[in-house]
């Protein structure tokens, strides 16, 4: 049912900034958002974040595809469409785990990994607080809600101290940390007025230093 919903709500296309990756994405924002509300709200299904490539994830994917680095084992936290996980797999990660608590995102990630010919493990567990021994943790556009951002940053602090390399992509969301970060690169990310209320979002990639 989840896979069917993803397939019938999206088309396979390349997002802006990352033409080498193809994803099942919604062409228009409002119809799918409404469809999710109407068809799935009773089951407590969250909005279809997985059907869009968010500015933070796009910048982060571009960054890791362009900069050869030793990623080792990677966690893509809050994977959505799987964009960043797929970029990590293409950039040579030894293994990639995509984590998203939405089961529709899990279905989208599986379809998208297959469409790009890469292997990505998928979990719908909330991994905040866990230690998976990841060498690299990638976080695309996750600081849009205060409680989530606070839990996430506290956990990233612990993981950074344990030696994980942590990279975040963020277009200036309200709850993005203002300290413990080093800016690495900035991109002008094309987006849509429906999603972001503007056509371009200046979006940066940061390393979390703690």
Ligand X SMILES: C[S@@+](CC[C@H](N)C(=O)[O-])C[C@H]1O[C@@H](n2cnc3c(N)ncnc32)[C@H](O)[C@@H]1O
Contact 141, 54 (CB under 8 A): yes
CB of 156 to ligand X, least distance (A): 12
What the block records as the tokens of 131 is 């230690």
H or E element that contains 137 = strand 136-140
CA dist., res. 89 & res. 82, Å (int): 11
Query: Which residues of this chain interact with ligand X, rule CB under 6 A?
Result: 46, 49-50, 53-54, 56-57, 77-81, 83-84, 99-102, 105, 126, 128, 140-142, 144, 148
CB of 134 to ligand X, least distance (A): 14
CB of 86 to ligand X, least distance (A): 11
CA dist., res. 177 & res. 189, Å (int): 20
H or E element that contains 107 = helix 103-115
Please say which residue, 57 or 177, places its beta carbon nearer to ligand X.
57
CB of 207 to ligand X, least distance (A): 17
H or E element that contains 136 = strand 136-140
CA dist., res. 193 & res. 88, Å (int): 28
- Distance between start and end Cα atoms, the chain: 41
Q: At what angle do helices 2-9 and 103-115 cross, to 10 degrees?
A: 60
Contact 148, 167 (CB under 8 A): no
CB of 145 to ligand X, least distance (A): 8
CB of 179 to ligand X, least distance (A): 22
Please say which residue, 50 or 167, places its beta carbon nearer to ligand X.
50
């Amino acid at each position: 049912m989840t896979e069917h919903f993803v397939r019938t709500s999206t088309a396979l296309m390349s997002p802006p900034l990352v033409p080498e990756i193809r994803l099942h994405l919604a062409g228009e924002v409002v119809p799918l958002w409404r469809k999710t509300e109407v068809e799935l709200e009773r089951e407590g299904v969250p909005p279809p974040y997985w059907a869009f490539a968010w500015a933070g994830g796009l910048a982060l994917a571009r960054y890791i595809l362009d900069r050869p680095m030793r990623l080792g084992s990677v966690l893509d936290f809050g994977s959505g469409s799987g964009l960043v996980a797929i970029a990590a797999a293409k950039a040579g990660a030894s293994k990639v785990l995509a984590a998203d608590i939405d089961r529709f995102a899990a279905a989208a990630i599986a379809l998208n990994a297959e469409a790009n010919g890469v292997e990505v493990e998928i979990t719908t567990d909330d991994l905040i607080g866990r230690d998976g021994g990841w060498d690299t943790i990638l976080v695309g556009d996750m600081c849009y809600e205060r409680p989530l951002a606070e839990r996430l940053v506290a956990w990233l602090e612990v993981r950074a101290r344990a030696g994980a390399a942590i990279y975040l992509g963020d277009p200036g969301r309200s709850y993005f940390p203002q300290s413990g970060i080093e800016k690495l690169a900035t991109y002008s990310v094309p987006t849509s007025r429906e999603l972001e209320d503007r056509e371009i979002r200046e979006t940066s990639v940061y390393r979390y230093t703690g």
